[in-house]
Amino acid sequence: MKNDPSRPLNILFLDSDMVWRGGQEQLLTLMQGLKARGHQVMVATPTHSALTQKGQQSNIPTLPFNQRNEFSPLALGQLWRILHKRDFDVIHSNTPRVILAAGLASKLCRVPVRVSSRRVNFPLRSPLSRLKYNWAQEKIVTVSASVRETLLRGGVHPERIRVIYEGVDVKWIDLQKPSSVTTRNGLVVGTVAHMSPEKGHDILLQAASEIVLQFPHVTFVLVGDGKLASKLARRTTQLGIEDNVIFTGFRSDIEALVKNFDIFCLPSLSEGLSSAILIAMANRLPVVATTVGGIPELVIDGQTGLLVSPDHPGKLASALLKLIRSAPLRQQMGDAARRRVEENFTLERKLDQTERLYRQLLASTDFG
């Protein structure tokens, strides 16, 4: 029976992005976890996307699905054919572009439950955005209370929103061996983020130029790729810190790579919730980050790390210097960070809450 609370669910996830960013990483762990619990999980995503490759490596069935804009008849037709052939209980949109098509196709094919994820903290700027979030699904899962507040300010009805924090598999993280990174003999300050303007990499480089004047052997490791990569590399030369900065490019072994860090730093100007911060905290790293978006929901200032106002290189440098100077403080905050993850941000907790949401919505649907 549809509403049997013990039966496995049949779930289709949708993602329209070609790139591999935090949202795709978070989706993959969700799919892997639900699959391990016995649910039938499939993902529709572009044929040559990074998610297709990762999904196949995890034995998650992938379906070809391409959508370049929100009003794509071809995408709607593809999705209708996918849904028409299978008896899905839930369709879960992982990227905003697919929400309208998912809502329309799933209603036509009588899929009982529609859910979408919202991971970014950008404000809703158009009536279309308000329409798709208020009409096209039963629930929007936000990764932080901050993202929830942004949606509310944008006109989304509060009953549509459910906060489910991201979580990490701490046992799996503990099993990872450190990846090699060539650094100097001093401390390592690392960051992991797509190289886009809202991540604030230039602020970190400016702070680094102040720090190396006092601690010339500190190495700054910037993990990630993006449209700003070459510009940021040139910036290190302008600041005279090219010997102190390492650009690793995109890496798929983040959980292992951060084990080389002594301090984790995320100088974002906007942030929904950072899975990279969670990985760093699980690895017992103190965090220096900004007071934007969902970051203060992860990092407790003065306990698990230090928070500073965004777009302020001087304050960022001061916070980093405080930790660079004190090994006991780094240890104390790193241990507290690990405890906070274990108590609040585990993968099991994320899976429990997501599974419970699906079943609650399925039990209340007219299709049950």
For residues 161 and 180, membership in a common domain is answered with no
Residues of the chain scoring pLDDT < 50: 1, 368
For residues 120 and 227, membership in a common domain is answered with no
For residues 292 and 149, membership in a common domain is answered with no
For residues 142 and 218, membership in a common domain is answered with no
For residues 333 and 190, membership in a common domain is answered with yes
For residues 250 and 139, membership in a common domain is answered with no
Q: What is the per-residue pLDDT for 307?
A: 98
pLDDT in tens, 17-56: 988 888 899 999 999 999 999 999 999 999 999 999 999 9
Q: What tokens appear for 68 in the block?
A: 């370049």
Number of continuous H segments (helices) and E segments (strands) in the chain: 15, 13
For residues 244 and 276, membership in a common domain is answered with yes
Kindly state whether residue 45 falls inside one of the protein's structural domains. Answer: yes
CATH label of the domain that carries residue 234: 3.40.50.2000
Kindly state whether residue 319 falls inside one of the protein's structural domains. Answer: yes
For residues 334 and 262, membership in a common domain is answered with yes
pLDDT in tens, 248-270: 999 889 999 999 999 999 999 99
For residues 326 and 360, membership in a common domain is answered with no
The answer to whether 109 and 82 are in contact (CB under 8 A) is no
Measured CA to CA, the distance from residue 205 to residue 60 in angstroms comes to 40
For residues 235 and 338, membership in a common domain is answered with yes
For residues 180 and 209, membership in a common domain is answered with yes
How many domains in the chain? 2
Kindly state whether residue 210 falls inside one of the protein's structural domains. Answer: yes
Measured CA to CA, the distance from residue 136 to residue 289 in angstroms comes to 35
β-pairing, 90-93 vs 139-142, is unpaired
Q: What is the per-residue pLDDT for 244?
A: 95
Residue ranges making up the domain that contains 339: 171-344
Sign for the CA dihedral angle at 349, 354, 357, 363 comes to negative
Q: What is the per-residue pLDDT for 368?
A: 44
Q: What is the per-residue pLDDT for 366?
A: 59
Cβ-Cβ contacts under 8 Å for 242 (sequence gap 6 or more): 236
Q: What tokens appear for 148 in the block?
A: 């929830």
Q: What is the per-residue pLDDT for 67?
A: 85
Give the DSSP H or E segment for 77: helix 73-85
Instruction: Provide the greatest CA pair distance for the chain.
Output: 68
For residues 290 and 146, membership in a common domain is answered with no
**Which residue shows structure tokens 């037709």?**
77
User: What residue ranges in 178-286 does DSSP mark as E strands?
Assistant: 188-192, 219-223, 245-249, 263-266
Kindly state whether residue 5 falls inside one of the protein's structural domains. Answer: no
pTM (2 decimals)?
0.90
